[in-house]
Structure 1
């Protein structure tokens, strides 16, 4: 096939059954295909579907958002999955929800970045077609579909035509940040927004098999309309990673190819152009798919290409979502088996990875469809600038680095002990499926505790926090006293084990410590006056020859330390009983003993 013809085919809008005029979405009503629904139009459309198809569609409020408006869930399933008993999910429209049989659950979330609205319009069309087209309605016998029509309602209401400067349409769209100027796709662990808190409850309610969050890309120019971030297979339990790589992903790529939307992995690279080699995106738990992976849920971020026209981007998203439903329905048994094996393996797992690094010794090869790049003088500066020449498309083999190796691990404790003072942490844990058992009486037990030796902190705030990384810990075995009402979190087979490990182990990339939840322990509350402590320190050294010997060894091996009287005095203080025990001490303790504490 001629290259230019191939490139044009990759942006064509496929022919779909034409809906009745009354059921056309705002996107479909625009002959130019450059309009996305407003929030009011989107919600009204689902309300209309719920009223017309109560036997198959359930619409309910699912919790508050920072916008002051409720998050909504749309559930599509076969009629047998609905019955009259009410649900606790707020005021429902359409059928009263009660699932009577476990089918695979595909959870689709749209509008986390409302300036990337393809999924909002595509899901409206897909929900309608699942109800109105007999061939698609059959899918609801095999799969339960949960849709969050708009996640970042706050940003969608902040409608404009300028903030997505690199993007080719639609004419108007929402804003990336929410009402608190938070990027919600960095909020899945810390859950500061009400949006994220409501999402967590909804996610834990459904425990989806597959999670899809719709996006639009930035970056290089290339021929593809659709690119894909999949959960990093190295991070999944082996059974689930093997299933993803061997069955699910190949079927999705094949299905999209058959629908005339060839896909490529998300185009991320270290060099100047994609030919330098694609790198898989490492989604830590702050991101949606990284969060989902903590619960053995496979996640996808379909990323349409910003420079393609809006209409093909919407239709490519529609076809990707449809392909996911078709594939999950066909592979339901294999998917369930992989998740069951992953859960069993995790229940027996004793060591967990906490940080990862790209393994550049391993790579795959993909046939990448790009455009030749070059340089020309900038009209702004006169300096060379990069450009892509769409008259020179190419297909060539490109290395794809898609393997990560763990760089930090931690052993699984029997339980974590959390003082009740840290109520914010306790609330987040409960919201995400953890069981916190309050102690019925005070206990003094041997535990492992961490002391912070070193860490790095970002010089500028990121999403409202100064993040910590490269955490160095000094573990100690101590007998610690915990009081009535303090919390025990057991890491038994019914617990969200990996979630607990990656939030409560401070060296993990997106731990609660990394996000600053425990920063108050890093500040010393009591200290000394030098002229007073000098005499006391001298007395300490006279009465403790071993302490004196340690000090002399340090001085002998470190001339700078030997010449610094203040540093030596501080060392004596830090080594004495006068130094406050809570300073630099991580307040969450690891209990390694058998049985139960209560």
Structure 2
């Protein structure tokens, strides 16, 4: 009888409700989740809700998987199926710099709320939300309380560099990290309409909790740029203002304080939103102010992400049409910009909420130093420069032909979903060939590379042999902008700029002067035109005229003995008809 009574009492005891608070919510407002807690939380959501799917999406440099979390009302986590259903895809990436963790915590709360709150679920009726919980897993595991000296919380956080000490927000073209290679494949599978990369920064002090980088309007296709500038940005700014998080453009300036004038950030393809723009994806980087308390930074990030999903839901048809127009017009676009310069003659005004900058004496050095006076806030018009003009353009070829020897480049093309075909037989093509006549190289390494810039080229029509199995990339494909900006050597973030073709910059054969002297003399006797060129150079250049070595080198470089492959860029531009491809 006693056993029956106990059994009845136990059966009547209600099962405690699961605690869905995140580590941030359980803490004191100054705590960010650990990596283990973050992944466990999403696994718990995945197990409890069919709308949530969490899976591995490749490796990171530290050996841990990169995860993707997909939130879809009908549980559909297949990118191709989602596109067939004409849903907009919003892709959120967190923790590229894990010392800037607001997005990590905000996204955990957002994922939960979207499956638990009816009013938020409605926003996913025509939207699929994809979240990378932590992109730089390596840096998130490298946790401390001291690596960000200027930051006001949380108590502990991750590190900017990954396991190879790479800044992953410079790695989207060169893809030195496994993180970047995994990201490229994941991004290409989803082909999102909107992309957000969550960050924290401080270059000055001001009143804003959050500033915003949006895809630079002149680099975005006009159809998408018009929607962004006329509809989405005004509504993001007004919507965040209503939530008590006024926005301003990212605070990038040249003078002493922001009042000197803000500059629109030019995100080249090495950056996350620079890469995504190449594929007609509108990108945003949220930059919360690192000296504001951690709680409002997390809350502002949450509200921004929620508002962006709301706008994607509201404007689904308009966004789809703008993107379709961009993709259609891209097929016939003939001129592509490769370099940009800020137009300082064209500017707008923004009402900027700042603090007065004061000069006081440093207690460390005794020298004058800048200090922002939080007791002296102001709101005043500030010049905003956000127009960029192309400085270099290139005409679109029919195709690029890429020798199979350049495997590192070909691997990266494949990761970005470039369609490649292979020559089915050995063939000689007379086509456009680049010679590198000059370039500048950075004196110090930058993210593991010595970057090239200010590249000057000479173009020749030249017959070149290609082998069966060499690769052809026709430009009638969605990856056209990516192909142009990576394979044209003048591009700011081209594969040439990052050093993938450095071996062509070095000669492999040369001459001994005491041997070549007699041969050079014979060459000049047999070739009067070469003799005239040498004489003309001597008359025009007195330094050259006094250098026997320079004149001997001149003859060598104008002879058949000089290797034609020296400084010849190996990727050629094909402007002709169909090639013999498999």
Question: Normalization by structure 2: what TM-score?
Answer: 0.96
* Deviation at residue 554 of structure 1 after TM alignment: 1.1
Q: Which residue of 2 aligns with 1:326?
A: 310
The superposition leaves residues 28-58 of structure 1 with CA deviations (integer Å, 9 ceiling, x where unpaired) of 1113x0000000000000000000102x111
* Deviation at residue 88 of structure 1 after TM alignment: 11
* 1:161 and 1:171 in contact (8 A); partners too: yes
Equivalent position SS for 1:128? helix
* 1:117 and 1:215 in contact (8 A); partners too: yes
Q: Which residue of 1 aligns with 2:565?
A: 582
Structure 2, unmatched stretches of 5+, are: 1-16
Match of 1:510 among 475, 488, 493: 493
The superposition leaves residues 342-395 of structure 1 with CA deviations (integer Å, 9 ceiling, x where unpaired) of 111111111100010101010010000000001001111111000000000000
* Deviation at residue 250 of structure 1 after TM alignment: 0.7
Q: Which residue of 1 aligns with 2:71?
A: 76
Q: Which residue of 1 aligns with 2:161?
A: 177
Kindly tell me: are residues 394 and 334 of structure 1, through their superposed partners in 2, closer, same or farther at Cα, counting changes over 3 Å? Answer: same
Which has the greater radius of gyration?
Answer: 2
Equivalent position SS for 1:265? coil
Name the CA distance, whole Å, in 2 between partners of 1:386 and 1:112: 30
Equivalent position SS for 2:307? helix
* Deviation at residue 397 of structure 1 after TM alignment: 0.1
Match of 1:276 among 244, 260, 265: 260
Kindly tell me: are residues 510 and 274 of structure 1, through their superposed partners in 2, closer, same or farther at Cα, counting changes over 3 Å? Answer: same
Does residue 29 of the first structure (1) align with residue 26 of the second (2)? yes
Q: Which residue of 2 aligns with 1:92?
A: none
Question: Normalization by structure 1: what TM-score?
Answer: 0.93
- Stretches of 4+ aligned residues off by more than 6 angstroms: none
* Deviation at residue 594 of structure 1 after TM alignment: 2.4
Q: Show the 5 A alignment for 1:160-309.
A: 160-309=144-293
Name the CA distance, whole Å, in 2 between partners of 1:228 and 1:301: 6
The superposition leaves residues 288-324 of structure 1 with CA deviations (integer Å, 9 ceiling, x where unpaired) of 0000000010000000001100000000000000010
* 2:82 and 2:128 in contact (8 A); partners too: no
* 1:81 and 1:101 in contact (8 A); partners too: no
Equivalent position SS for 1:214? strand
* Deviation at residue 81 of structure 1 after TM alignment: 3.4
* Deviation at residue 495 of structure 1 after TM alignment: 3.9
Q: Show the 5 A alignment for 1:18-57.
A: 22-31=19-28, 33-54=29-50, 56-57=51-52
* Deviation at residue 442 of structure 1 after TM alignment: 0.6
Name the CA distance, whole Å, in 1 between partners of 2:188 and 2:281: 11
Match of 2:89 among 81, 105, 109: 105
Name the CA distance, whole Å, in 2 between partners of 1:453 and 1:251: 49
Q: Show the 5 A alignment for 1:544-563.
A: 544-563=527-546
Match of 2:99 among 94, 111, 115: 115
Name the CA distance, whole Å, in 2 between partners of 1:352 and 1:122: 38
* 1:435 and 1:495 in contact (8 A); partners too: no
Name the CA distance, whole Å, in 2 between partners of 1:441 and 1:325: 50
Name the CA distance, whole Å, in 1 between partners of 2:565 and 2:558: 14
Q: Which residue of 1 aligns with 2:8?
A: none
Name the CA distance, whole Å, in 1 between partners of 2:83 and 2:328: 25
Name the CA distance, whole Å, in 2 between partners of 1:572 and 1:125: 71
Equivalent position SS for 1:81? coil
Name the CA distance, whole Å, in 2 between partners of 1:98 and 1:264: 34
* Deviation at residue 100 of structure 1 after TM alignment: 5.4
* Deviation at residue 576 of structure 1 after TM alignment: 1.1
Q: Which residue of 2 aligns with 1:350?
A: 334
How many pairs does the alignment contain? 565
Name the CA distance, whole Å, in 1 between partners of 2:255 and 2:465: 54
Does residue 341 of the first structure (1) align with residue 338 of the second (2)? no
The superposition leaves residues 207-257 of structure 1 with CA deviations (integer Å, 9 ceiling, x where unpaired) of 000000000012100000010000001011111111111111111111101
